[in-house]
Structure 1
Amino acid sequence: MVAVARIINATLVIPELDKGSLWKDSSNFSDVFDEDYFINSLANDVTIVKKLPKELASATKVVKHFRSWSGVDYYEKEIASMWDEYKVIRAAKSDSRLANNNLPPDIQKLRCRACYQALRFAPPIEAIGKLLVDRMRHYGPYIALHLRYEKDMLAFSGCTHELSPKETDELRAIRESIPWWKVKDINPVVQRAKGYCPLTPREAGLFLSALGFTSNTRIYIAAGEIYGGDSHMSDLQSRYPLLLNKEKLASDEELEPFRKHASQLAAIDYIVSVESHVFIPSKALVRLFNKIELGTMKEGEELSNRVIAIHRGRQGLPRKRKGSTSGTKPTDRFR
């Protein structure tokens, strides 16, 4: 959105965060990010204001869904031409991706500055994040594990492996009740086979063991409330007794300002994860884990060798993009 504002020569109003999501988080931009630093860091590139000026309250406005994966031409011609009729353009959502290819270098650099320089967390979040990092590091290296095993993630994806019929029905009801989640009827077996589901906590334990992490490894669980709680975490907890999260590292008083604010709690997890010695997102290892469940493979050296072989060279290092896949449609080439 910063880059789009620059392209169409617009003043950018600080965005409103979604308050109607499943978690009903009332946080504003300034609760999560250092708003003044964001504005000042980009002052030479884009004019940014905290709210719409009063003199524009009654100005002609338009709500626009920007077309995803569009480049400069789309914004300079189709969107900028709207200034002839309107003084305020409101982006209905900010999930319309700007093209990755064929953008001018100054726009690409601006995107990087917005993401990696101008955005920093609000001081209270930075402070509690540093406190938790210090407490994790006090005893040595630690792993940050992002399970993605939360109610909204499972409901949206339709992933129900190892869940009870009651839990499956609850997630289906959530998915059906949210109108903007378009896909309602999901086959969980097919979804899992395609690798679209997060590892269950039990599978995450299998994965870590196969990679060679011993039972005395300190692990920070970077996530919101794990769906099913102890009933689904017991196997992982038995393998790795030193499981920690922000609720165990901080006192109730220290966390009180952030409770009931999912985006602020996620920001805290982000800080602890970035400062970890090893960060592990959950991965798709369905075929191997299915073999273990069916009894055609046993946990041990064979599983460990397979897992290590699969992940060799996949440490998240930078890699050169090879361009679009042959035969892709015009818009797809810019993804």
Structure 2
Amino acid sequence: MRQHSLLLQNHTHRGAMAAALVLLLPFFLPTLFTPLGHAMPSVFSEWNAPKPRHSRLLKSALQRETSDAEVTELWKPLADQQWKRCDLSDQKSAALPKKSQGYIQVFLDGGLNQQRMGICDAVAVAKILNATLVIPYLEINPVWQDSSTFMDIFNVDRFIDALKDDISIVKELPAEYYWSTREYYATAIRANRVKTAPVHASANWYIENVLPVIQSYGIAAIAPFSHRLAFENMPEDIQRLRCKVNFQALVFVPHIRALGEALVGRLRSSTSTNEGERNNYIRQFNGAKDKRGIGKFVVLHLRFDKDMAAHSACDFGGGKAEKLALAKYRQVIWQGRVLNSQFTDEELRSQGRCPLTPEEIGLLLAALGFDNSTRLYLASHKVYGGEARISTLRSLFPLMEDKKSLASSEERDQIKGKASLLAAVDYYVSMHSDIFISASPGNMHNAVVGHRTYENKKTIRPNMALLGQLFLNKSLTWPEFQAAVIKGHKNRQGQLRIRKSTQSIYTYPAPDCMCNA
């Protein structure tokens, strides 16, 4: 009996120890683990579910009512503007030379949309140098760990055919250049590799520095090649060629387009693969029975992943554990290159330098007039904090969908684990939505905003500085918040802006890619 009692006490003691360790783990793990693959530390915010940071506004937003007139104005398409899309397929380009100077290889890092811009620039550089372009090599992104190739994402035959009158393109190098591979350039310094291309280099820089390499070796490999071609002082035909690549030559592979079209159809018909859950939402939220705006939907690009959160150096309300996890990630991955970390959270927010949280973007949408009958498609790879972070957004928009809720498991298997293909589906759906809004600036924001400007589609650009200041004001009432939001976004809903000399044509396509109506 005494032995049994001792065993019971020992077991109880071990149980208490284990419970204590579980409670303390969030504070010790950041020092025990280095975020290999960038996955492990993301659990901290889920263990410490963030509470709403703007409870007063959220409570009012949940009780909001939107008039028929406001809804009509909200969903009204953009009026025709001074500029319209040009037929770039008929653009006159300098004739192809009888003989190419040699081959150009480019190695593109970043995510899908950064690579997309790099592809457009690579075509332009090939044209400038009268060189033959090898289908660009897409690097494996260290964050997303995706090995998708150009041909996995884009219709390569369409790409080559659309540009056949502009430049020469090959899928593979001739046998004599078999050695020119990513591995070859990774192992040593190579004379034909150009690694000194400055950001936004001029056309003359390529003529003076890259053309001699091609003439000497028959091939030049340029890496890195992100944002390596200027926008100012560029010949008009080169600018138009970049536009042609971006808006006409780059088309997703058929199965991506088919899945995107299926998701768009389901959003417009108000159906999903989880109809039981959808009906529960409708029963829970009486306002969801309101059918105003039926058949329409808005895409929210919510880039709130671990990488973005750490790079911003802002506080997102996840408590001490989240701060420790983000600080560790920032130190290991960004190695002191996050200059924003020298500012306080209040300073960063008042300057509009913090990405909006799901709660904050939800409050913005509510203030603009979207309500719980709005069909909202969430374009996002992975949200830092998981469902706990998204819960406030979902409470505001119970009819929120994403790829998981709309696509069948068989459909998702085609793109599972492939961040670039997932992003391509989101890009397709974003381009076919009635309204698009992004929670933070970035490459997808820039690419979609530019493409939708070209197509004259409504796109809301959040006023980050205004919102940062509003969210810092804890005494603000809902009517005051809503009035400030509406006023601050009156001219940020797709109104065309003419590109300034150093700005990107991929974000501001007029006047380079568009014609005066």
- Residues 1:257 and 1:161: Cα distance change in structure 2 (over 3 Å): same
Deviation at 1:119, TM superposition (A): 0.1
1:272 aligns with 2:429: yes
1:250 aligns with 2:415: no
Corresponding residue for residue 235 of structure 1: 392
1:261 aligns with 2:415: no
Deviation at 1:322, TM superposition (A): 4.9
Corresponding residue for residue 206 of structure 2: 75
1:191 aligns with 2:370: no
Deviation at 1:145, TM superposition (A): 0.7
TM-score by length of 1: 0.89
Contact 2:231–2:502 (8 Å) recurs in 1: no
Counterpart of 1:227, as a letter, is: Y
1:107 aligns with 2:234: no
Corresponding residue for residue 312 of structure 1: 490
- Counterpart among 318, 327, 331 of residue 176 in structure 1: 331
- Residues 1:276 and 1:247: Cα distance change in structure 2 (over 3 Å): same
Counting helix residues as a fraction of each chain, which structure ranks higher?
Answer: 2
- Residues 1:6 and 1:181: Cα distance change in structure 2 (over 3 Å): farther
Secondary structure in structure 2 of the residue aligned to 1:313: coil
Deviation at 1:163, TM superposition (A): 2.3
- Residues 1:93 and 1:322: Cα distance change in structure 2 (over 3 Å): closer
Deviation at 1:87, TM superposition (A): 2.2
Corresponding residue for residue 333 of structure 1: none
Contact 2:202–2:229 (8 Å) recurs in 1: yes
Deviation at 1:215, TM superposition (A): 1.5
Deviation at 1:64, TM superposition (A): 2.4
Corresponding residue for residue 11 of structure 1: 132
- Residues 1:158 and 1:86: Cα distance change in structure 2 (over 3 Å): farther
- Gaps in structure 2 of 5+ consecutive residues: 1-121, 181-190, 271-294, 440-461, 504-517
Corresponding residue for residue 470 of structure 2: 288
- Residues 1:130 and 1:203: Cα distance change in structure 2 (over 3 Å): same
Contact 1:69–1:97 (8 Å) recurs in 2: yes
- Counterpart among 156, 164, 171 of residue 35 in structure 1: 156
Corresponding residue for residue 91 of structure 2: none
Contact 2:193–2:223 (8 Å) recurs in 1: no
Corresponding residue for residue 71 of structure 2: none
Contact 1:66–1:96 (8 Å) recurs in 2: no
Question: Aligned pair count?
Answer: 321
Deviation at 1:158, TM superposition (A): 2.5
More displaced 10-residue stretch of structure 1: 220-229 or 97-106: 97-106
CA distance in structure 2 between the partners assigned to 1:29 and 1:135 by the alignment: 28
Write the deviation string for residues 97-121 of structure 1: whole angstroms up to 9, x where unpaired: 4222221111111111111110010
Deviation at 1:240, TM superposition (A): 1.2
CA distance in structure 2 between the partners assigned to 1:175 and 1:41 by the alignment: 42
Give me the CA root mean square deviation. 2.1
Contact 2:368–2:485 (8 Å) recurs in 1: yes
- Residues 1:237 and 1:58: Cα distance change in structure 2 (over 3 Å): closer
CA distance in structure 2 between the partners assigned to 1:229 and 1:256 by the alignment: 21
CA distance in structure 2 between the partners assigned to 1:180 and 1:56 by the alignment: 37
Secondary structure in structure 1 of the residue aligned to 2:137: coil
Write the deviation string for residues 130-161 of structure 1: whole angstroms up to 9, x where unpaired: 00000001131111111211122212222332
Contact 2:230–2:502 (8 Å) recurs in 1: no
Contact 2:302–2:438 (8 Å) recurs in 1: yes
1:89-128 alignment to 2 at 5 Å?
89-128=220-259
Contact 1:219–1:244 (8 Å) recurs in 2: yes
CA distance in structure 1 between the partners assigned to 2:363 and 2:237 by the alignment: 46
Deviation at 1:196, TM superposition (A): 2.0
Secondary structure in structure 1 of the residue aligned to 2:210: helix
Corresponding residue for residue 303 of structure 1: 481
CA distance in structure 1 between the partners assigned to 2:139 and 2:344 by the alignment: 28
TM-score by length of 2: 0.59
Corresponding residue for residue 204 of structure 1: 361
Deviation at 1:179, TM superposition (A): 5.9
CA distance in structure 1 between the partners assigned to 2:244 and 2:218 by the alignment: 27
Deviation at 1:174, TM superposition (A): 2.6
CA distance in structure 2 between the partners assigned to 1:150 and 1:233 by the alignment: 12
- Residues 1:65 and 1:157: Cα distance change in structure 2 (over 3 Å): farther
- Gaps in structure 1 of 5+ consecutive residues: 326-335
Q: Percent identity?
A: 41
